[in-house]
């Protein structure tokens, strides 16, 4: 719910919602405006490395494990404003927050 509140208070240009699940999981359901980069993909690190380090990132997966690992990689690459959606999309849905 903190992530949802943050999203409502920021301009779409100020932050990126990053879904690090597989493309199949993403296609089933995801948070609106989320971009998908599969954490398990061989190109994950190189794809993340292309991103704007000046933006705020909200990162999530199914339960929080992959997104925690993704955040660690992002920190190694020099990203500083990263927020892991604790509990992932499962918790998001459990709190009745919107998905598409």
- Residue 66: give its domain's CATH number: 3.40.250.10
pLDDT band, residue 51 (cuts 50/70/90): very high
Active site residues: 61
Classify residue 100: in a domain, yes or no: no
Considering the entire predicted model, what is its pTM? 0.86
Classify residue 86: in a domain, yes or no: yes
As for how many domains the chain has, the answer is 1
- Residue 22, classed as helix, strand or coil, is coil
C-alpha torsion 86→88→94→98, nearest 10: 110
Burial of 93 (0-12, 13-18, 19+ CB in 10 A): middle
Domain containing 27: what range?
A: 2-94
Classify residue 46: in a domain, yes or no: yes
pLDDT band, residue 95 (cuts 50/70/90): confident
């Amino acid at each position: 719910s903190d992530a949802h509140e943050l999203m409502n208070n920021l301009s779409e240009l100020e932050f990126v919602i990053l879904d690090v699940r597989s493309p199949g999981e993403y296609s089933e359901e995801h948070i609106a405006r989320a971009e998908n980069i599969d954490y398990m993909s061989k190109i994950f690190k190189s794809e993340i490395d292309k991103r704007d380090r000046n933006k705020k990132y909200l990162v999530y997966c199914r339960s929080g494990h992959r997104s925690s690992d993704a955040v660690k990689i992002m920190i190694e690459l020099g990203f500083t404003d990263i927020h892991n959606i604790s509990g992932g999309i499962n918790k998001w849905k459990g709190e009745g927050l919107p998905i598409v």
